[in-house]
Amino acid sequence: MKRILIVDDAATVRLYHRQILEAAGYKVYEAVNGIEALEKSLQQPFDLYVVDINMPKLDGYGFLRELRSQDIYQAPAIMVSTEAQTSDHQQAFAAGANAYLVKPVKPEQLLIQVKLMIGEARG
């Protein structure tokens, strides 16, 4: 089963994304900030990351940069943020994101991205 790590400090957003992804059959893990996400990524491989930008301790950009410098499987990452500005997109891609979605993310929208990046939940 494909494993996805949701990195977001807002519990509500984590639950929202979890519900969408679990309903589609993915296995979902959570981290509340960049540090925790990094720790988890080093412990076990994920197939995809869904990452918020603004978080305490280590933000989304910082997390992705740290992640990309690790010698582990480099899974695609979707950056999710309320900011819709071009400069934020650029910064996200420079840090190592592979897609950028604006919150609130529509379920179909997220699922298409996820499917394209890592395939269906089963199979």
**By the criterion CB under 8 A, which residues form the site for other proteins?**
9-13, 15-16, 19-20, 23-25, 33-34, 54-59, 61-62, 65, 67-70, 73-77, 82, 86, 89-91, 93-96, 98-104, 106-109, 111-113, 115-123
Q: Which is nearer to other proteins, 28 or 107 (CB)?
A: 107
Structure tokens given for 71: 């010698």
Minimum Å gap between C-beta 63 and other proteins is 8
Q: Which is nearer to other proteins, 6 or 13 (CB)?
A: 13
Instruction: Tally the C-alpha atoms within 13 A of residue 14's C-alpha that lie toward its C-beta.
Output: 15
Q: Which is nearer to other proteins, 50 or 111 (CB)?
A: 111
Minimum Å gap between C-beta 59 and other proteins is 5
Q: Which is nearer to other proteins, 15 or 43 (CB)?
A: 15
